[in-house]
Structure 1
Amino acid sequence: MQQLTQKLGSGDMVIQELPYPQVGKGMVLVRNHYSIISAGTEGSTVTAARKSLIGKAKERPQQVKQVWDTLKKQGPVQTYRAVMKKLDAYSPLGYSCAGHVLEVGEGVTEFKVGDKVACAGAGYANHAEVVAVPINLCVKLPDTANLKQAAYNTLGAISMQGVRQADMRLGETAVVIGLGLLGQLACMILKASGVQVIGIDVADAPVKQALKNNSVAAAFTRNTAGIEAKINALTSGQGADAVIIAAATTSLDPINFAGAITRKKGKVIILGAVPTGFERDPHWYRKELELKMACSYGPGRYDLNYEEKGIDYPYAYVRWTEKRNMEAFQRLIETKTIDIDYLTTHEFPFEDAPKAFDLVVNRTEPFSGIALKYNVDTAISKKPISVGVVQPNGKVAISFIGAGSYAQGNLLPNIPDSHAVTRIGVLTNTGTTSKRVAEKFNFGFCAAKEQDVLDDKTNTLFIATRHDSHAEYVLKGLQAGKNIFVEKPICLNEQELDNIIAVQQNVQKPVMIGFNRRFSPLVTQLKQKLGSGAMSMIYRVNAGSIPKDNWIQDMEIGGGRIIGEACHFIDLLTFINGSLPKTVSAMALPDPNGLNDTVTITIQFENGSTGVVAYFANGSKELPKEYLEVYASGHTAILSDFKELKIYGKGKPSKKKLLNQNKGQKEMVAAFVNGLLTNGQSPIPMADIFAVTRATFKVLESIQNGSQPYAV
C-alpha cells in the first residue's frame, strides 16, 4: 500500500510503497477515501523539516538539550546513532481521515467489515491508502455519510473540545481569534449552540470566508480601527463572555487582546498554539479572568488505557470523551446542523499530495481545507516489500520483529558483516519503520505479516517489540524452529516463563536475552580478576523518574521497571559471582502512584554470595546512573557507569578508564551470532536466563508481602 512520508533531516516528501499495517488487538483496519491536511499542525512540521540543521535546532531547543545530555553520558557514537535515527526516519503525516473498514482486530465488536468510519490520531489516521486505528480513535458513520466532510473528524473534535471548555450558554457571546480550520469549525459549533459569534483574524481572506458562509454574526481583521469598541458595542458594552484563541503564533498579542475584549469574570480558552504570558494589568487581574486550556480532542487524549487499550470512561461520569466529541461532530454534519463543505478549498488526488503540501508551505494561493482523495478501486497487496537483493542464506539468517530506537541504536548496527550472516526481513507495527530499517541495515524485505519472517528463509529471530509481546513471539519463533534473541524481559509473568521453558526444552533451540552488561569489556576484566565464588556485591542504580503514564510503567504492557529493567542488574550480579539466585527479598519506598520503582533488592546466591540492587527513581539526574562494588577474597572492584574500573588488592590499585561508556551491546550481539556459527548455542546459559527472570517476579511478590524472602 502507498503512504505519504517525510524525512525530518532532509525534508524530502514522497509517496512510497510500504507494508500493510499490522492490525493489533482492539484495532480496525481502514481503507481511506479521504484525508485532510491540517495547514497549522502539519504545515509547521513540514516547514521545520525543510529547514537546515541549525534552523531545526532553533525550533527545538529541548531536543538539543537531550542530545547534549546523551553525548555527555553515552558518548558520540550512540548520540550520532540516536540523532540520525530521528533525521533519517520516514515520518508519517496526517491525523484525520475517513473510509471503510477492511478488517477488525481481536476483541472488536462495534465495527464490522464494510462499515464507513472516521478516524483520528497522529501516527494512526495517516495520509495512506490503509491505516490501522484503535477503536477509541474511530467512529462509525451512517451509510449515507459524506466521507469528504467526515474526514474533518479530528479537527472537528479539537474545535468541539475548545467549545466545551468555554462552557457557554444560549444567548451568550464568544469571540474566536484565528479563523483557520479550527477557528471556522469552532464558530460553526458555537453558532449551532445558540451563541453569538464574532470572528477575528490577522488576514482578510478568512474573515471574508467566515462572513460569506454565515458562520459568524460579525468578523474583523485584527488591525481594524476601533476593533475593541466594535466588539464592546456588539456585546452591550460588557465584553465577550468567552474568547477562544484558535491562532498559532509566538506573539503575545492574542492573549493580551483576549484580556481586553473579555467581560469581567469571563473565560479565555487556548485552543491553538500561543504563548500565555499575558500582561497582568489592566485587564487580566482587574477582571479576574479565567484561563483554560483545551487538550486536543478531549478527555482520553494521551491516556494509554483509553487510546491504546480501548478502555472507555464511564458515560455517567465523563460525558464527553474524545470519541464522543467525534461522534457529536459527525452528527452535526449528518443532520446538516453545520455545513462544512465550504472549508474544502482544494482537493488533490492522493498521488499529488506533495504538491498539496507545497501549497501549504509556500502559500502560492489562498486556501483553507485541503482534502486528499484516494483511489479505492486499486488492488492492495499483503506481500512483503522487496528492498534489496536477498543473498543466498548463510548459516545465520536473521529477521527482526520490532525495530524501535533501541534496536536501531544498539542491535542492528552491531550485526556482524559476514558471508555467513544473511539479513532477511523486518516486521514492525508501522510500515514506515519497517521500510527505513530494511533499507538502512540491508535487509531483503520489509514484511507485511508474521509469516513473512517465520518461514524457512529465516532461522534466527530478533525480537525487539514492546514487552507484552515478547513471550508470544518467543513461543512462535521457537515453535517455528528459530534461534531466538529477545530484548529483556523475556516475558511478564511466571506462566509465560513456564511455557517458554517447556517449549525451549522440547525444541532445543537457543534463546538469548538482551542482558548486555555482562558483555561489557570492563565487566569482562572485573570477572577475570575476581573469578567466581562467594562474594559481596552492591549495585546502585540511579534510574531516574519515568512518568506513571509511560507504557513501561503499565504492568500489562511494560511490566513495570523491576521486570522491565531491574532484571539487567540481577543478571549482572549472577554473572559476576558465577551462581544462580537462590532467594530474594525486597522493599520499596512508598510512593503515591504505587510504581515500586525506588526499591532495594537483596539476593542470596547458591554459592553463598550476597548481592544488593539499590534501584532509585528519586535521585538527581546529574549523578551517573550505575555504580557497582564487588568484595571478594581481599579484593574490591568498583565499576563506575561502565566507563571506569578500579580494582583494589595488595599494592597499587589497577585502573582502566574508557573514553566512552560501553555497556556491552556490540559484544553481546557478536557473541550471540558467533555462538550460533560455532556451536549453535547461546552465550548466556538457559539456566541463567530463566532464573534471573523468575527472580524479578519474586521481587514483586516480596514487595507485596512485606519484604518476605522468596525462593527462586
Structure 2
Amino acid sequence: MDQVKWGIIGCGDVTEVKSGQAFNKVPNSVLVAVMRRDAGKAADYARRHNVPTWYDDADALINDPNVNAVYVATPPDSHADYAIRAMRAGKPVYVEKPMALNAAECEAMNRVSRETGVPLFVAFYRRSLPYFLTVKELVDQRVIGDIRYVSVQLTWQPAARELGAGPEPNWRVTPAISGGGLFHDLASHQFDFLEYLLGPIKTASGIAQNQAGLYSADDIVVANFAFESGVLGTGSWCFTVNKEQRMEQTQLIGSKGKITFSYFENFRIKVETESGVDEYTVPFPEHVQQPLIELIVRDIRGEGSSPSTGETGARSNWILDQITGH
C-alpha cells in the first residue's frame, strides 16, 4: 500500500505520548481515525490531535474504507476480539501489550493471522529502542563473554494509579481485564526483550501470591526460567514495599563480567569487567513506540520486517502463564 492509514481503537493514556503522535511522524504513515466508547472523549482526542474522524463504535472504525491498518490500544481483555475483527476485514493490526489475557487467546489471534494472511504486530517496542539495542550490541559483541545467568528484580510501592480513586482498583490489577496483576503488565516487556536478547525460554515456573490484599491480583511473584541456550534465570517482583525499598534492575552475568540495566527506571547501562567499569546513557525518544511503528509501517509496505510480531508477542504470555499457573 502507498500509505498506511491508521485507525486507533481505544485512544486512552498510552496513546497520548507513547504512540498516538508517532503515527504522523513516521514516513508513509498517517493517523486518520480514532475510536473510544465514550463519544465525548473520542471527539476530544480527535480535536486535540488533529485526527479527522472519530467513532464510538469499533466496527465503524474497522469498516471505514479510509482506514487500512488498526492499532488496538484497549486493555488486554478486548485485544483478541478487536484484532480478530480487524484481521478478518483484511487490515493489518498493531496491538498493545500484553498481547492478550493468556496464551490461548494469543494463539487464536495468530491463527486468524495465518488463515487470512493479514499481519499482526505487538507493541513490544523495546526491541527497537536505542537503549535496549545497546544492551543487545554489548551482548552480541561478547563484552562480558558467555552469558551464564540472568537476574530480574523489581520492587515497587503501591501506586495511586493501581489502587484507583474510586471503589474499584485500576484495570491493571483486575485480572479479568488485564490477565493478571502488575507482574503481567510489566514482566511481559521484560521477558519479551530477554527472548530477543538470548533466544527462546524453554521452561519457566514460579509462585504468585497476593500478600497485601490491596486488590485481587497477585502482588508478589518469584520465578525460575531456563533458555534453550542453557542460560538460567531468576526473577522477583513485589509491588507492596515502601518507597525506600523501590528498586528495578536486570543483571546479565557473563563469564567475563556483568551488565546491569533497567527496563523502566533510568537510562543507564553499567558494564563491569576485569578492565573496569563502563557506563552508557541512552535516553528514550519522545514517543517511545515511534521506532517500532516505523519498522511496522515498512513491514506492511513490503520494505522490511518488524522485530515484534504476533508470534513473538505470544511468547511472553506463554511464559507468564507458566510462572503464575493461570
Please indicate the TM-score interval, normalised by the length of the shorter structure. 0.7 to 0.9
Q: Which residue, out of 99, 102, 110, partners 1:501?
A: 110
Partner of 1:688: 312
> Quick check: 1:482–1:509 contact (8 Å CA) kept in 2?
yes
1:463 deviates by: 0.7
CA contact (8 A) 1:394 1:422 kept: no
1:667 and 1:609 map into 2 onto residues whose CA distance is 29
Which residue is equivalent to 2:179? 559
Could you tell me which residue of structure 2 aligns to residue 542 of structure 1? 155
TM-score, normalising length: structure 2: 0.84
CA distance in 1, matches of 2:287, 2:68: 27
User: 2:74 is matched by which residue type in structure 1?
Assistant: T
SS state at 2:79 partner: helix
AA in 1 matched with 2:240: N
**Match in the other structure for 2:101:** 492
Question: How far did residue 619 of structure 1 move?
Answer: 2.4
Change (3 A) 1:659 1:445: closer
Residue identity matched to 1:504: S
Kept in 1: contact 2:204–2:322 (CA 8 A): yes
Structure 1: which amino acid aligns with 2:126?
Answer: R
1:293-692 aligned at under 5 Å gives the runs 394-417=2-25, 420-455=28-63, 456-531=65-140, 534-545=147-158, 546-547=162-163, 549-561=169-181, 562-577=183-198, 579-589=199-209, 591=211, 593=213, 595-622=217-244, 626-640=248-262, 641-658=265-282, 664-679=288-303, 681-692=305-316
Kindly indicate whether the alpha-carbon contact (under 8 Å) linking 1:540 and 1:628 is maintained by their aligned counterparts in 2: yes
Give the Cα separation in 2 of the matches to 1:595 and 1:523.
Answer: 29
The offset of 1:627, in angstroms, is 0.9
1:515-572 per-position Cα deviation (integer Å, ceiling 9, x unaligned): 2333332211111011287541111122432437332222211222233332111112
Structure 1 runs (4+) deviating above 4 angstroms are 622-625, 658-664
Quick one: structure 1 residues 625 and 568, their matched pair in 2 at CA, closer, same or farther if it must change by over 3 Å? farther
For each residue in 1:423-465, what CA deviation from the matched residue of structure 2 results, as whole angstroms up to 9, or x when unmatched? 2211001122211222233322012422332123222111111
CA–CA distance in structure 1, aligned partners of residues 286 and 271 of structure 2:
18
Partner amino acid for 2:108? N
Contact 1:675 1:683 (C-alpha < 8 Å) held by counterparts: no
Q: Partner of 2:206: helix, strand, or coil? A: strand
CA distance 1:685–1:632, shift in 2 (3 Å)? farther
TM superposition shift of 1:592: 5.4
1:646 to partner: Cα distance: 1.1
Choose between structure 1 and 2 for higher RCO, CA contacts under 8 A separated by at least 6 residues: 2
Say if 1:458 and 1:633 are closer, same or farther in 2 by CA, change over 3 A: farther
**How far apart, in 2, do the equivalents of 1:614 and 1:468 lie?**
25
AA matched with 1:564: D
SS at the partner of 1:653? Answer: strand
Q: Among the aligned pairs, what percent are the same residue? A: 20
Query: What secondary structure sits across from 1:481 in the alignment?
Result: coil
Deviations 1:182-224 (A, max 9, x none): xxxxxxxxxxxxxxxxxxxxxxxxxxxxxxxxxxxxxxxxxxx
Following superposition, the deviation at residue 659 of structure 1 comes to: 6.2
* Count of aligned pairs between the two proteins: 309
**5+ unaligned residues in a row in structure 2: which ranges?**
none
> 1:600 is paired with a residue of what secondary structure?
strand
TM-score, with normalisation over the residues of structure 1? Answer: 0.41
1:558–1:458 Cα change, 3 Å: same
Root-mean-square deviation (CA, aligned residues, Å) is: 2.6
User: Is the CA contact 2:222–2:236 (under 8 Å) kept in the aligned structure 1?
Assistant: yes
Once the two structures are superposed, residues 648-698 of structure 1 have per-residue CA deviations (whole angstroms, 9 ceiling, x without a partner) of: 234132211256798943333333333334536432144321222111112
Shift of 1:484: 1.2
Q: Is the CA contact (8 Å cut-off) linking 1:647 and 1:654 kept in structure 2?
A: yes
Code of the residue aligned with 1:424 in structure 2: it is V
Secondary structure of 1:602's partner? Answer: strand
- What is the SS of the residue equivalent to 1:682? coil
Structure 1: distance between partners of 2:33 and 2:184: 29
SS at match of 1:482: coil
CA shift digits 1:104-156 (9 cap, x unpaired): xxxxxxxxxxxxxxxxxxxxxxxxxxxxxxxxxxxxxxxxxxxxxxxxxxxxx
Change (3 A) 1:581 1:542: same
Deviations 1:62-116 (A, max 9, x none): xxxxxxxxxxxxxxxxxxxxxxxxxxxxxxxxxxxxxxxxxxxxxxxxxxxxxxx
CA separation of 1:509/1:659 partners in 2, compared to 1, >3 Å: closer, same or farther? closer
- Paired residue secondary structure (1:557): helix
Deviation, structure 1 residue 469: 0.8
Q: Which runs of 5+ in 1 are unaligned?
A: 1-392, 705-712
Contact 1:485 1:514 in 2 (8 A): yes
**Alignment CA distance shift 1:590-1:534 (3 Å):** same
Q: Distance in 2 between matches of 1:414 and 1:608?
A: 38
Checking the alignment, whether the CA contact within 8 Å between 1:538 and 1:628 is kept in structure 2 is yes
Structure 1 residue 419 displacement after superposition: 6.0
Distance 1:505 1:452, change over 3 A: same
Q: Which residue of 2 aligns with 1:160?
A: none
Q: CA deviation at 1:583?
A: 0.8
Q: Would the aligned equivalents of 2:103 and 2:314 in 1 still touch at CA under 8 Å?
A: no
Structure 2 partner of 1:359: none
SS state of the match for residue 276, structure 2? Answer: coil
Give the drift of 1:598.
Answer: 1.0
CA distance in 2, matches of 1:671, 1:681: 6
Alignment of 1:179-194 (within 5 A): none
Shift of 1:486: 0.9
- Write out aligned runs for 1:1-150 (5 A): none
